[in-house]
Each structure stands twice: as C-alpha cells, then as structure tokens.
C-alpha cells in the first residue's frame, strides 16, 4: 500500500444541503479533489483552502475528460501521498463509473473507500412528493440509463416495457432526453400511451423544473418545453400522484 488514499464521494443531485455528514467530512479533509462537471460550486466550497481542486467534467453528450486519464490522475496523486477525493454527482455506484474506478485503484494497490450520495433519480421524485414504490401502484423500481456507450446497443426497451407492465415497476431513466423519441416508441410496445411520465430537469437546484405528461406525448412535450440535460424521466403509475396533488390544489383554490 501507498501513503495516500482515495475516497469516491457522492455529492448528491446538487443541493449542498443533501450532502451526508460523512461526505462533508471527506471533502473537508481532502488534499486533492477530482470534481465532476455536475458538482456545484457550493459543494466544492466546503474543501480546504489549501486543497487542490481539479475539474474533470463528465456530462453526457458533451466533451469529457477521458475516463482512463481520470483514473491515472487518482492513482498518481494517491501514490504521492495525497488524500484524494473523487467527487461525483449523485451516487458513485449509480451510473457514476464508480465500479470501474474502484477496480483500477485496487489493482494499483491504492487504498479506496466509497461514500454514498443521494442519486438524482430518487431526489427527482422526492422533490415532487412522489414515491418510487407504492403498495398500489409500483411493486419495484428500475434505474436504467438512456445513454449507451459506443458500439453498445444499450437497453432493450421493449423487453423492459413488458416487464414493467407485468410486474408493476417504476422506470427511472437517466441520460435519456437525447434519445427520448426512441425510448418512447419502444416503451409503447409494452406500456399504454396513457402511462404517466414526469421529466425533471436540474434536480434539487434553484433552476429545477418539471413537466408531467404521458408516454404517448413524451417526446413532443420535451421538445415543446425545451427540456434538456441533465434530466430524469420517471415512467409509471406513481407519477399519477403528482397530477392528483395538482388537481386537489386547483380544487381548493376554486
């Protein structure tokens, strides 16, 4: 083992108040921080004034720092005796490439640990007072990416739709806005067009906004409302709770 160490820290969806205490302590103790693009300045402000902060932006559809280069930076800094924090949006082990990084660090003999963060797929629905599971509407939840790596066919949306319908599952789709047309068309092979969908952009931030629509109108709604990345799409009957709440508020106002 080397004198340095590396901690993969989940920074949560963006709101600094959603950091765990353990994550906050790790950020404050770091001598080097490698920070993802979606981590806010309010979170990096918790770092020590003497810490070296390196931005290694990674965002779907944009130019990104190569993953191999990020792993090389982590290993080099740890071998120099630094206390390295790899600061990631959401949770390191949910579409955060944390598994790949742990494997490379361990293979290099680097001491590594992981601190969980609130994933944006959970924070998105929570901000709308909607659950991911419900005894009446959803018996389970599937977190799935809408962005496949090059030369990978990605998710079998038709098979997933059939399973979600028969098993009453909520689908939480990350990085799916750019592929919304295909996702919609293939999910419609197994789910009704009336299936409710929520799209939440900039989860937990002051700029957060959302729309509630149906699967049949998903793509047109995204285009009309000019929704972009980063956004979460939530597909399933649990989303009906948002519309019920809106209708109830309107009735009270009347």
Positions marked catalytic: 36, 58, 175
Sign of the alpha-carbon dihedral angle for 30, 32, 34, 35: positive
- Residue whose structure tokens are 């709101």: 15
d(CA 64, CA 112): 24
d(CA 214, CA 233): 11
Beta bridge partners of 143: 172
């Amino acid at each position: 083992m080397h004198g340095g160490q590396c901690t993969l820290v989940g920074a949560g969806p963006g709101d600094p108040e959603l950091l765990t205490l353990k994550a906050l302590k790790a950020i404050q103790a770091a001598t080097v921080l490698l920070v993802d693009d979606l981590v806010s300045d309010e979170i990096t402000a918790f770092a020590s004034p003497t810490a070296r902060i390196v931005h290694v932006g990674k965002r779907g559809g944009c130019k990104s720092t190569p993953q191999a280069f990020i792993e090389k930076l982590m290993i080099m800094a740890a071998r120099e005796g630094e206390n390295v924090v790899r600061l990631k949006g959401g949770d390191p082990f949910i579409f955060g490439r944390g598994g790949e990084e742990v494997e490379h660090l361990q293979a290099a003999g680097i001491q590594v640990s992981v601190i969980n963060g609130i994933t944006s797929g959970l924070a998105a629905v929570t901000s709308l007072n909607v659950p991911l599971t419900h005894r009446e509407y959803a018996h389970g939840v599937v977190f799935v990416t809408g962005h496949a790596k090059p030369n990978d066919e990605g998710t079998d949306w038709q098979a997933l739709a059939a399973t979600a319908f028969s098993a009453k599952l909520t689908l939480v789709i990350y990085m799916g806005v750019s592929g919304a047309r295909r996702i919609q068309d293939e999910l419609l092979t197994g789910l009704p067009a009336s299936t409710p969908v929520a799209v939440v952009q900039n989860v937990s931030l002051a700029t957060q906004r959302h729309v509630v629509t149906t699967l049949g109108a998903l793509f047109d709604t995204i285009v009309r409302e000019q929704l972009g990345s980063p956004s979460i799409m939530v597909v399933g009957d649990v989303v009906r709770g948002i519309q019920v709440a809106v209708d109830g508020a309107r009735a009270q106002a009347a």
